[in-house]
Amino acid sequence: MIRCTSSSDGSLKVVHLRDLVAKGFYDKTGAKKIMFVGDSLSSNQWQSLACMLYHTVPSAKHTFTRQGSLSNLSFPEYGVSIMYLKNGFLIDLVVEKQGRVLKLDSISRYGKWEGVDVLIFNSYHWWTHSGSLQTWDYYQVGEEIYKEMARMEAYKIALTTWAIWVDSNINPNKTRVFFQGISAIHDEGKDWNEPNVRTCEGQTLPIRGQYYPGKRYAGQQVVKDVLVKMKNPAYLLDITLLTQLRKDGHPSIYGDEGRDCSHWCLAGVPDTWNQILYNILLKK
């Protein structure tokens, strides 16, 4: 279910997006079909864009469908479809006799990626899971199976597999490809110089300035290293610092799953990601 919440004043969002939709999203950007592919952070951005468009023209006819891992909000009147395809690793995860295997050099479930005007990929947070949250037992590269592997090494192999697929199968003249950068988590107050604070709970102000004192994410450099080697590099939506500064932007204890310091409130931070995305799309 998509749950849309209006911001308190809505000025930037409503004025900006009324122009976007009324004059035709497709006419302005050339994009009829936009698909977010990734984990729940991709869903966060997809829901944001869906809500922004819906609140701009609430009386417009629209359809919402969910088939398996694919969710689709369409505005037939404007010829626009906003889709989210859940796929947190991008490469193949299969269940075999020995257990759950991440095939780092294999992509087979790509059919729904094709024929889309704009693709926004995302993959990172699932790679950092451990314990009960880890959804795989083994890694595989070629015929070799590994019980253990350095996480960022596995991540780089997988992203390289994805990058090769994009270069080999996506026509950049027909489809624009983006990679959603790594979104920050605020689960340790020491990262923003409040060592006595354990989580994002109770945070009501962003960090001032343009510097984040806390940890950097190893995946940031991996993403940049892979993208720069692509024949037709995907456009990096580099949202990491933007999200690091917004320790106040999480659902915290008001979300659906306990204390949530990794996803973002809507309306909220992902709206900015979509403002950035839209302005990039305007530059055809």
Reply yes or no on whether 260 is catalytic.
yes
Task: Select which of 186, 260, 262, 271 is catalytic.
Answer: 260
Q: Report the C-alpha gap between 66 and 86 in whole angstroms.
A: 11
Task: Select which of 117, 191, 263, 271 is catalytic.
Answer: 263
Reply yes or no on whether 16 is catalytic.
no
Task: Select which of 40, 137, 167, 238 is catalytic.
Answer: 40
Reply yes or no on whether 263 is catalytic.
yes
User: Could you give the residue numbers annotated as active site?
Assistant: 40, 260, 263
